[in-house]
Each structure stands twice: as structure tokens, then as C-alpha cells.
Amino acid sequence: MATAMAVLFSQKASAKTYSAFYGTYIDYSSGNKTSGYSGTFYLNTGDLYQSTSFGISATRVEEKTEETVSFQGKQRTEIVTDYIDQLDFTLLYTNTDKILKNHIFSFGFHYILTDDKSTNNGSIFYFDGTYFKPYNWNSGLEFAVSFYPSTKVFQFVPHLGKYFYTKNFTYYTWVKGYYIKVGDTADFAFSKTNYFSGEFGVHFYKGNFDAGVFLWGGEQVFAVKNSGFVVYNLGDVYKGGIVFDGGYKIDKNYRVGFTASLNRFEYPDTGENAVQTSVTGYVGYTW
């Protein structure tokens, strides 16, 4: 389930500890899902060379379904409201320049407790290896394997990033390609097992302010994003979207920001298309 960590920024710098709280509201345009909200706590401790990050998210999604009931010998249709509650736990270790010079290696684990029986107790293992030229360019490969009660999912994500500098600001651009392979689909209504998609983004930096946007298209299921902090585990087929984000560093300790996203998806069991819109606000503190 995608939560407030949908846009997670790095705050390693010289500070030893960074913490943040995120609040997210989610709206669904149609289908059984109607709305949702989540709260997330994030903590990063370490330095430029080694760091450990932890995240915990609590999410609730509201669903409404029609049920036929009998009353005084007559049948009638009622709207029944139900909820999917979920807890996500994420742990990530990042090593920069220590294992190999000019390389970043990240190892992560994500665990899911949810009312969704098909993905409850899901375990996701994440790895990223990236070669970089400082403040110039980088290239690498992400890999994730997700273990759910009735299936396994493999994900490969090659990526490339580049910094550009102008007189007034700095900007960073990136491209990613996603390949997702689903194992047994008996418990899901997927029409295939292989999914492909691509992503392009740009982020601008000027003084204490930064902002960015990225777009993606193709198809994704059970996608693992943001270094393993975000997992789309509810079995919907996502078909593209756009994300805006921005942040401002108020002083040497406090940072505030927002994220707004719009994603198209399909309910595979009915073929109905819908749009997921989410808005996130956060406040972070450097210790």
C-alpha cells in the first residue's frame, strides 16, 4: 500500500540524526476504494559514509461495497463500509565509498501487516548498487524480491542520474526502467506475469528551497519504490502517473515540505479504471 513515504528525500549531510513525520490523505475516483489516510515516522542516523534508516507507517483505506440483504421478506441493497488497516516497517542500511570507492550500496527489508489476506505478512528484500561521480552523474541497478502468502514478485530497476548547473540553480534529472515479474497469480486477477514501465524526473535546488516533478508510464504491480520504503501491495495494476514535491529548510534544524501525486490504476478483477490522488505534508528535524 503506498503511504506517506512516497517521496523520501536524503538528509545525510554532516548531521548524525534526521527524523520526520508525514501525514497523507488519499482519494480514489471510483471503484470499491473511496479514501484513505496514513501517518509515517522516519528516522535516519549516520554520516556521509554509513547510515541506517527506519520507517513505520500506519495506513487505513476505506472501502464501500453493495450487499443484498433480506428485510421483512423483501430484498434490498445496502452500502457497506469496511476498512483495510495496514502497518509497514522498513529498515535500510546504506554504505557509501566504504565497500568500493565511488559506489553506494543499500540493503533493505520491508515487512507488511495488513487486513488484506493476500499480502499479509509480506516480506520484501531490497538491494541497490550505484556507481557515482560526485555531483556529476550516477548509474546503478535496484533489485527487490517480495514474498507474499501465495506468490513471489521480482523487480529489476536500472537507473541513471545526472546533475546540471546554471548560474541561478542546480537541477538533477533521472531515468528509471522497471521490470516486474510476478510468480503464481492464482489468488489475483492479473492477465499476465510480466510488467514494464519507465520513469523520468527532474529536481531543482536553489538555496534552502527545492522542488521537483516526475512522470511515469507503463504498467506496475506490487511495485517497490523509494529504496524499499514504499510498496504497492494491494494487487491493483498501476498504469502511469505524475508526482510533484517541494521542500524548504527553515533553519539549520527544521525542514517542511509537501508531495502531491496522481496515479491511474485498474482493478484487475473488474477491469474498472480509477485514479488515485494523494497529498502529503511533512516536517523534519535534524539533531
Quick: pLDDT tens for 37-52: 999 999 999 998 999 9
Residue 13 pLDDT > 70: no
Residue 24 pLDDT > 60: yes
Residue 168 pLDDT > 80: yes
Q: Which three cell numbers stand for residue 255?
A: 525542514
In percent, how much of the chain has pLDDT > 70?
Answer: 94
Residue 116 pLDDT > 70: yes
pLDDT for 14 = 52
Q: Are 44 and 12 in contact (CB under 8 A)?
A: yes
Quick one: pLDDT band at residue 9, thresholds 50, 70, 90?
Answer: very low
Residue 15 pLDDT > 90: no
Span of 33-42, 46-55, 67-76, 139-148 with lowest mean pLDDT: 67-76
Higher local confidence (pLDDT), 11 or 185 = 185
Residue 60: give the domain boundaries. 4-67+74-286
- Structural domain count of the chain: 1
CATH number at residue 184: 2.40.160.60
In percent, how much of the chain has pLDDT > 90?
Answer: 81
Average pLDDT of 108-123?
97
Quick one: pLDDT band at residue 10, thresholds 50, 70, 90?
Answer: very low
Residue 67 pLDDT > 80: no
Average pLDDT of 94-100?
96
Quick one: pLDDT band at residue 71, thresholds 50, 70, 90?
Answer: low
Higher local confidence (pLDDT), 69 or 110 = 110
Residue 66 pLDDT > 70: yes
Average pLDDT of 57-65?
93
Residue 6 pLDDT > 50: no
Quick one: pLDDT band at residue 2, thresholds 50, 70, 90?
Answer: low
Q: What 3-state DSSP class applies to 178?
A: strand
Average pLDDT of 188-207?
96
Residue 159's alpha-carbon distances to 128, 132, 142, 198, 267, in angstroms, are 10, 12, 8, 10, 29
Average pLDDT of 168-193?
93
Whole-prediction pTM = 0.91
Span of 5-19, 156-170, 196-210 with lowest mean pLDDT: 5-19
In which residue are the cell numbers 568500493 written?
100
Q: What 3-state DSSP class applies to 4?
A: helix
What residues pair up with 79 in beta bridges, in sequence order? 66
Euclidean distance between CA atoms 191 and 223, whole angstroms: 17
Average pLDDT of 18-39?
94
pLDDT for 7 = 39
Quick one: pLDDT band at residue 12, thresholds 50, 70, 90?
Answer: very low
Residue 79 pLDDT > 90: no
Q: Are 248 and 225 in contact (CB under 8 A)?
A: no
